[in-house]
Every structure is written in C-alpha cells, then in structure tokens.
Chains A and B, each alone.
Chain A
Amino acid sequence: MDCVVTGGNVKVLAKAIHSLSRIGDELYLEPQEDGLALRSVNSSRSAYACFLFSPLFFSRYTIPLGHAFRCKMAIKCVQAVFRSLSSLEKTVEKCHIELDGEKSRLTFTLHCKHGLLKTHNLSFQDSESLQAVFDKESCANMLRAQPRLLVDTVLHFPPSLEEVSVSVSGERVWFRNHVDDEAEQSKAMLTELCLSSDEFDHFAVGAQTSITFCLKELRGLLVFAESTGLPVSVYFDEPGSPVVLSVTDSVLEVNFVLATLSDDSNLCNHNNNTKRARSPPPPDDFMTDDIDSYLIAMETSELAGPSDALAPRCPSSNHTLTTQPSVDIHRRRLERGEEEEEEEDTEDTERPPNKKFRSLFFGSVCPSDSQLTNQTIKSQEVLASDSEDDTQASLP
C-alpha cells in the first residue's frame, strides 16, 4: 500500500483521526478500491465511525493487489503522528503512508518544509473487518443542517452531559438532555432547545419520534464537520434503530453510527409542559437498568453463515491471530442476544421494555469486491428490531 496526501488534505486526515479517537481506542485501517477507510468503534460497540477517503483525496493511491489488507493500530500512536494541528498546517507539505509488509509496519512520513522528514513507523495488528451494517436511505427521518447550527445547539448542554434526546414532529425538532439515573431525576436540571424546521437545509420527518443517543460521540463529528464547513445529515428511525450522522463531499464520506436507547422512557422526563406537542408518556416503570446489555453482535467472516455463501472468495488472510477470541466473544454475545430477545417478547405485552442501547449491527463484509459489499448491506436488515425473526437476522 502506498498513499500520498498533500497540502491541506493532511490536516483533514489529521482531524479525521482526532475525531475517531473520540470514539474508540483503536484505529482500523483498510485500503479499499473505493478509497481508504479509517474506522473505529467504542468498547461497548454502541458507537461506530468510518471515514472513507476516495482515491481522489490522495495525490497517489496504490493499494495492495490480490489479498486485502486490513489492520488495526492503537489510535494514540497515530494521533502522535499528527499531533499539533496548527503546526501541521504550516509545516507539512505532504504525508506518505506506506505499508512495509515484511516488517509488519505502517510507515507515516511527513515531508515538511526545509526538507525535513519525520518518519513514524507504526506496528499494526492484522484484524477482522469492521463494518457496521446500516442503510441510510431507508430511514424514515432525515435532517440536514450546517454544522454551526448543531454546534450552537450542543453548546447549551454541559460538556459532561452523556446522553441527548432528539424529538421530531412535522415542523420542529427538540434537543433535550437525557437524565439516566432515576435518583437524579428530581434534582437534575432539564434543558430543552427547540428548533424550527426552517433552520435546516433539509427536514424530512416521517412520523413523530424521539431518539436518545450519546452526545460525546456526536461532538467528535461536529468538531470535524465544523472545520470542513460541510453540512451534517442525520438519518434515524424509531428508538432502538441507530442514528447515522453523515458528512459527505466529493472526496470524502464520513459516517457516524450511534446506537439509540430502545425505549420510549426518555419521554418521561418532561411531563406537564403543555407547550410541547407530544404523545402522553408511557408509564414510568424502570425495572432494571440494563447497562451491561449492550448487545454486541460482531460478525467475523470466519463464522459459517449465508455470508460465506454470498462471498465464496473470502480470502484466507481473514484468519488472523485474533480468530479464536473473537469467535468466542461472538458466541457469548449471541447467547446474550437470544436471552434478551426472549425477555422482550414478554415485555412487549406486559410493560415498556427495559431501556438499553441497541447494538450496532456489524456484518461480515469481504472488501475485495465492493459491489458485493453494497449487496450485502442492502440485503441485510438494519438493526435488530424486537421481532421474532431476530434469531435469523442476527446471522447474516
């Protein structure tokens, strides 16, 4: 692999890495035919981000022929290469990323002014593919706004706020802080910001709905979007389905996929205010706080299933050192997944479901054929809903 980034794009690359560092600890790097994909996921698998830089972003873009190359690295190491953004702008003329297959190293060489060369040799681990399955186009609701609007919105919430709830109706959108702990509810300050659809570049709402997700990861995207000035698109469905935040331009596609709370209990925060047009909140009945039920349904291509049938050409280099552990993890998670699905069936009939963040769905994707990738995505469902077909859908 051999890529060169020049001029202002170096800073964009650096910002992307800093943005990804707010999601997870590891950077997954995958040179694809359609571009270089940089991805990260958080430890609870409830947030995923992907920056896809098209070949046009680079002044040179050569990827290894034949077997697909995928790796992951500690993101802090990569951040260290692009440490000071302001000095990057002023001194770095180009950045050369090269794969040293023999030594299992990725070399980042920064060509700076006055002939100065800074070379960073970063070791990596082979890794499985990391690709969340999501389909933006099928989402019922879509908003697009200038990043400034969203930055101004989150400004009203304290930096320590974990979760934010977003509610939409035909004409308006409300951002509220979500109060998690029942004990805190009576003491916590509640903040709500109401924006009219006028302020958005695009405002398409299918039905009145409300979703809750992690604000911290959103801030990561906003920092990036604001620096590029590109509008942010927000795609979402009902609670439980992930929210997808996208920033796109001709050479770059960024997708942040965040899990949302799978419960309407977030409506219970504001009960008596008649100004807000909202359906009456469901009975406030928090049975348990299932924090550890962050489902993780990470698929690896080693597992048997329809995906292998779809992609018989899955290269053998997928069998990495991490095969065994990831398979075990997956098995455990699947089991947990099944338990929870059983829970839900009864819960639906008796009482509102326990609140928990829905997992992000990670499909197995063989990157050697991007067409196949698209097919895979389209043929699979978006996140696990609480239907009984789930046990089938969880295996791709």
Chain B
Amino acid sequence: MKFRAKMIDVGCLNHFTRVVNTISKLTKTCILRLTPNNLYFVLSGKVASGGVGMWCELSQANFFDEYQLEGVAPDANEICLEVTPENLSRALRTSQNAKCVKIKLTKKHCPCLTLVAELPTLSSVSRVVTHDIPVDVIPRRLWHDFKEPSMPDFDVSIYLPPLKTMKNVVDRMKNLSNFLVMEANLNGEMNLKIETDLVSVTTHFKDLGNPPWGDDGSPGRSQSRDPEVMAHTRVDIRKLQQFLMGQQVNPSKAMCNIVHKRIIHLILLHEDVSLQYFIPAVA
C-alpha cells in the first residue's frame, strides 16, 4: 500500500483546504477512500452517525500535481482509511502559503497520513512543517459499507435557495424546535416549517426551479405527479443546521431530493467537488 501526492498550486491548496474544512464541520470522523482518479470522504448512514450519510467526491487531477497510488491489491487498487478531518484541516490551515504540500501514507508509531509543507522563508533554506495524522486502515472486507450511495427514489427534486439564507432561517428555527419539516413540490416551491405547542413558523421559498432529471433519477414518479403536491420529510433540525453551518465552498449547483417521509438528500455540485448529504426522517 502506497500513497504519495503533491500539491503546488496555491489556488488548489486553498480550495482543497476549504473542502476539508467543510467536511470537518460535518463530522468528527469519516472514511477517506483513495482511488487512482478520485478521493472520497465518506460517512455511511449508520446509527453511529445518527443515520446521516455523506459522500464527497473530489477529482484528484484537479488538485494534485503528482499522485501515486498503490492499493491493497492489484485488483483492488484503492486505499480506505478512517481519519479525523479536523486534524487534516488543522494541518492545512497554517500551510496556506506553502511552496509545496506533500501528502503521503506512512507508518510512524501507527499508520499516518503525513502532510509535509515547505514554507517560504527569507533564507535559502525553507521551513518544513510535518504533520503526522494518525489514521486507521480499513480492511477490504469492510469496504462494502463505503460504496457510493445510490440515488434514492425521490418524490420531488428542487434547487435550494441560497444556502446563507437557509442557514439564517434554520438558525432561528432551531431556537424554537428540535424538529423541522422540509417540503417541496415540482412547482419550485419549498417550505421550511416548525411546529410546537406554542408556535408554528413557516418560511416559504418560491421560484426555485426543479432540476430536470429526465432519464436519470426516477422519472416515473415525477412525471405523473401533481406539481402542486408537496413531498415532506421531518428531520432533526441540528443535522440540517450542521450541514448549512459548515459550507465553505460556494457550490455552482445546490439541490435537494425529498423522499416523502423518508429522507432528505442534499447535493452540492462544484466544478471539481461534489458533496451529497443524507438526512433521515424522524417520526
């Protein structure tokens, strides 16, 4: 098993750092899957993470100048690690002006992801910062847990309103209730609702637009669906807040698929990064 990668471009480094920062705000630990073409930050929707699932895909070529990977076996050319993204975030944070950042898999006192940054100095010799981030290697027999989640059979798919606006709304709603209902229809309308014994608050968004899934996704249901009818799901408000809080990358496309009473599937697309986040329904 071998992994070595190098980043030289400052823009790539900044972008990568922002992605890692976002991931670190979403979860304390996650799986890092390294394949010849991509990096994935994965959280499988298990009970441990409160049923929340995350799938973040980065195209390696858009970030790294050099990238060498030798997986666990020739027929399984990938590496699967459990990492604490906060550590990675911290290591990257102070290396933003580095001339070069290398990441490699090493074995120190335990398997580590070692980040080495060469910082510019006034003298002829650079300053070298080395961060050893302990990781756990995930054995092959557990890899099936971390496969790309399939697109759920959604009832409604809609573009999200500006994330900042959503965040402001959700932040205030969180003070009133622990649960939030998200509903949307095929007419580009979305509502965020909370309801308690004392008060109910609804925020209405209009003219959001619905993504044209066409042959992808599940055309069957949406074609015959009444565009006025809302599909709704009730979720733990903190999970939605956590998703909105951490966003550091401005997505070029942000959308949401709702499976009635089952799950909210949030998708953020950027040129070289995609982030999917699944929030399960609560009763």
Please tell me if the beta carbons of B109 and A186 are within 8 angstroms of each other in the complex. Answer: yes
Provide the bound-state CA to CA distance between A298 and B122, in Å: 44
A187 close to B (CB within 8 Å):
yes
Please tell me if the beta carbons of A198 and B129 are within 8 angstroms of each other in the complex. Answer: no
Please tell me if the beta carbons of B125 and A196 are within 8 angstroms of each other in the complex. Answer: yes
A196 to chain B, nearest CB (A): 4
Provide the bound-state CA to CA distance between A188 and B109, in Å: 11
Of B108, B124, B129, B134, which is within 8 A of A273 by CB?
A: B108
B256 close to A (CB within 8 Å):
no
Please tell me if the beta carbons of B123 and A185 are within 8 angstroms of each other in the complex. Answer: no
Of A187, A190, A271, A272, which is within 8 A of B131 by CB?
A: A190
Q: Chain B, interface size: which category?
A: 20 to 34
Which residues on B sit within 8 Å (CB–CB) of A81? none
Please tell me if the beta carbons of B127 and A191 are within 8 angstroms of each other in the complex. Answer: no
Of A186, A189, A194, A269, which is within 8 A of B91 by CB?
A: A189
Contact with A along B113-132 (1 / 0, CB 8 A): 00000000111110111111
Please tell me if the beta carbons of A189 and B87 are within 8 angstroms of each other in the complex. Answer: yes
Contact with B along A265-296 (1 / 0, CB 8 A): 00001111100000000000000000000000
A253 close to B (CB within 8 Å):
no
Provide the bound-state CA to CA distance between A8 and B280, in Å: 61
Provide the bound-state CA to CA distance between A110 and B66, in Å: 62
Please tell me if the beta carbons of A199 and B108 are within 8 angstroms of each other in the complex. Answer: no
Please tell me if the beta carbons of B131 and A186 are within 8 angstroms of each other in the complex. Answer: no
Please tell me if the beta carbons of B121 and A199 are within 8 angstroms of each other in the complex. Answer: yes
Please tell me if the beta carbons of B128 and A194 are within 8 angstroms of each other in the complex. Answer: yes
Nearest B residue to A193, CB-CB: B129
Which residues on B sit within 8 Å (CB–CB) of A199? 121-123, 125, 127
Please tell me if the beta carbons of A198 and B108 are within 8 angstroms of each other in the complex. Answer: no
Please tell me if the beta carbons of A190 and B132 are within 8 angstroms of each other in the complex. Answer: yes
B224 to chain A, nearest CB (A): 53
In this complex, how many residues of chain A approach chain B with their Cβ under 8 Å: the count is 22
Provide the bound-state CA to CA distance between A155 and B110, in Å: 26
Using A194-B127, A271-B108 as known contacts, say yes or no to A186 and B121 having CB atoms under 8 A apart: no
A33 close to B (CB within 8 Å):
no
Provide the bound-state CA to CA distance between A158 and B87, in Å: 10
Please tell me if the beta carbons of A191 and B134 are within 8 angstroms of each other in the complex. Answer: no
Using A187-B134, A189-B91, A189-B132 as known contacts, say yes or no to A271 and B123 having CB atoms under 8 A apart: no
Please tell me if the beta carbons of B123 and A196 are within 8 angstroms of each other in the complex. Answer: yes
Please tell me if the beta carbons of B134 and A188 are within 8 angstroms of each other in the complex. Answer: yes
Provide the bound-state CA to CA distance between A158 and B91, in Å: 10
What is the total of A-B residue contacts with beta carbons within 8 Å? 62
B230 close to A (CB within 8 Å):
no
A202 to chain B, nearest CB (A): 14
A195 close to B (CB within 8 Å):
yes
Please tell me if the beta carbons of B123 and A198 are within 8 angstroms of each other in the complex. Answer: yes
B107 close to A (CB within 8 Å):
yes
Which residues on A sit within 8 Å (CB–CB) of B204? none
Please tell me if the beta carbons of A189 and B133 are within 8 angstroms of each other in the complex. Answer: yes
Using A155-B94, A186-B134, A199-B121 as known contacts, say yes or no to A192 and B129 having CB atoms under 8 A apart: yes
Using A196-B123, A196-B125 as known contacts, say yes or no to A272 and B107 having CB atoms under 8 A apart: yes
B92 to chain A, nearest CB (A): 11
Provide the bound-state CA to CA distance between A190 and B128, in Å: 14
Which residues on A sit within 8 Å (CB–CB) of B109? 185-186, 269, 271-272
Contact with B along A179-212 (1 / 0, CB 8 A): 0000001111111111110110000000000000
Please tell me if the beta carbons of A193 and B128 are within 8 angstroms of each other in the complex. Answer: yes
B206 close to A (CB within 8 Å):
no
B90 close to A (CB within 8 Å):
yes
Nearest B residue to A158, CB-CB: B90
Contact with A along B93-117 (1 / 0, CB 8 A): 0100000000000111110000000
A156 close to B (CB within 8 Å):
yes
Provide the bound-state CA to CA distance between A187 and B130, in Å: 16
Nearest A residue to B112, CB-CB: A190
Q: Which A residues are closer than 8 A to B by beta carbons?
A: 155-156, 158, 185-196, 198-199, 269-273
15 residue pairs of the A-B complex, CB under 8 angstroms, read A158-B90, A186-B110, A187-B134, A190-B132, A191-B130, A191-B131, A192-B129, A192-B130, A193-B129, A195-B127, A196-B123, A196-B127, A198-B123, A270-B108, A271-B109
Q: Which B residues are closer than 8 A to A by beta carbons?
A: 84, 87, 90-91, 94, 106-110, 121-125, 127-134
What 3 pairs between A and B have smallest CB-CB spacing? A198-B123, A196-B125, A190-B132
